[in-house]
Amino acid sequence: MKSYIQTLLLLLLGGVTVNAGTNGTALVKGKILNARSSIIKLTTVADYITHEPMEYTLDLKDDFFEFEILVDEAKIATIYHGNSSIQVFLEPNQDIDMTFDAWDMVSTVQFTGVGADNNKYLNQANQKFERLNYDYITYKMVSMNSEDFQTLMRKKKDEKNAFLKEAKTSMRFTTAFVGYAQADVDYWWANHLMRFRWEHALYNDIPPPMDLPREYFDFLKEIDISNDGAVTNEKYIFFLSQYLDFQNARVKRIVGPGYKAPKYRGAEEFLTGKAKFFTLANEFYLKCKSKQTYTIGNDVRRFLEESSYENYNGLVRSEYRKADGLEAGSPAPDFSLVNTNNEVVSLNDFKGKVVYVDFWATWCVPCTYEIMRSKDLKKKFQGREVVFLYISLDTNSDSWRNFLSKHKLQGVHLFARNVYNSDVATQYGVRGLPSFFLIDKSGNLARVPAKRSSEPGVVTEINEVLSR
């Protein structure tokens, strides 16, 4: 049975081309009036499972800017200029055009094109309900009893819903944003109601989670627990975590001492559809990160057979393969990519030398820090049989070339199109940046992962592999 499962896993992990999500990009472009500095920055996350930060910084050109961003599915990004910021809703293969006055960014921002009303509403709602922030709600749940807190939250939910309903009469939202905007109301409300049993208890010297009347949780009947259209909203994701903890505690209380907690937080018992597969992917990701693949092989196989969500499938495949398949001593997967001169370069070209591989991107802040620090590391091995090979996973080759030119970075620089969906990223199980590997003179993996350029011991590690 074990060999059968391993064979199926090999087919599912390596026998298909990984296409994580829609493999799209979004363009965010516009003009700044009365610019307060020469740069503009955009931040977001790669996804809501890894939460890998993505940061893009641009120099303004005649006060104009244009970001090209990897977007597998809809998500929120934040744009910063001067000391102000606004949020934008990103969708795959969609352009956002905007103009704002830098001295009053929030009030003057104007959007055009597809999705303009999405972002107009998003920023209007953020302004209108700015006071209902996390700290304010926490203060209220700490200082109020459960009944009064529920009354307050229902009143605020009704206000948010009324504002959204009015906006729908005059604005045209995209399908994805309709689900996002409603989730932003419903699960903001539900998540805070779920939090009450913890926060009120902690601040009032009551053992958490506190007992509440059964009818307190009747609000759960008013929302969709498994909501496909809400999975792109972080408030819904926070709610799911609270809900699964609540359900597991409830069943444990009913069953008693013999209760055995379900696997993966009860995702298969309490959720359906996209919410179930999101939660399972998240649990598999955590297991792979802690090198516990020996406990999940059969479940991963079944997940990959049943899930139709390729962004989750791609992440699970990659993390499982990296945790279970790439080991020191095994042959390093070969690849062929183009360099800055559009010449094809292969890993096999460097047989007989130690190769230090750095997967990076210009939008990744830790990556740019490491690649700048690697200048000192390269000097220590100048004239020796060590190749420093940098593989960019940028969405735009121009950003990559401009960065290399600006900083005059030496070494072998290659470009892999399609970011995490590129063949080389899949082969090496790269789903987070930066990622480092050390390959010995025989073409075998020597360190998985290798130490970062700035990390203590990296020189010793490379020297050890050189001496073999």
Which pLDDT does position 12 carry in this prediction?
Answer: 53
Residue 431: DSSP 8-state: -
Do you find a cis peptide bond into 209, omega within 30 degrees of 0? yes
DSSP 19-76: --TT-EEEEEEEEEES-SSSEEEEEEES-TTT--EEEEEEE-BTTEEEEEEEESS-EE
Residues 238 and 173 in one domain: yes
Sign (positive or negative) of CA dihedral 64, 68, 71, 77: negative
Residue type present at position 69: I
Residues 356 and 454 in one domain: yes
Residues 311 and 346 in one domain: no
Bridge partners (DSSP) listed for residue 80: 41, 85
Residues of the chain with pLDDT under 70: 1-23, 324-325
| H or E element at residue 184 | helix 175-203
Which pLDDT does position 298 carry in this prediction?
Answer: 86
CATH of the domain at 363: 3.40.30.10
Residue type present at position 56: Y
Sign (positive or negative) of CA dihedral 341, 346, 352, 353: positive
Which domain covers residue 208, as residue numbers? 134-255
Residues 346 and 427 in one domain: yes
Residues 422 and 461 in one domain: yes
| Residue 13, in any domain of the structure | no
Residues 274 and 246 in one domain: no
| Residue 129, in any domain of the structure | no
Residues 156 and 219 in one domain: yes
Which pLDDT does position 23 carry in this prediction?
Answer: 58
| Residue 182, in any domain of the structure | yes
Q: Among 60, 190, 172, which residue's Cα sits nearest to residue 117?
A: 172
Which pLDDT does position 48 carry in this prediction?
Answer: 94
Residues 223 and 302 in one domain: no
Which pLDDT does position 216 carry in this prediction?
Answer: 97
Q: Which two tokens stand for residue 229?
A: 């259209």
Which pLDDT does position 202 carry in this prediction?
Answer: 95
CATH of the domain at 87: 2.60.40.1120
- The predicted model scores a pTM of 0.83
Which pLDDT does position 24 carry in this prediction?
Answer: 83
Which pLDDT does position 21 carry in this prediction?
Answer: 38
Residues 142 and 250 in one domain: yes
Domain boundary among the residues 53, 80, 113 is at 113
Residues 432 and 411 in one domain: yes
Residues 248 and 189 in one domain: yes
Contact 219, 170 (CB under 8 A): no
| Residue 15, in any domain of the structure | no
Domain count, the chain: 4
Domain boundary among the residues 277, 302, 324 is at 324
Give the Cβ contact number of residue 204 at 10 Å: 11
Category of 330 on φ-ψ map: left (φ > 0), alpha (ψ -120 to 50) or beta? beta
| Residue 224, in any domain of the structure | yes
Residues 199 and 315 in one domain: no
Domain boundary among the residues 208, 235, 255 is at 255
Q: Which two tokens stand for residue 322?
A: 């990296």
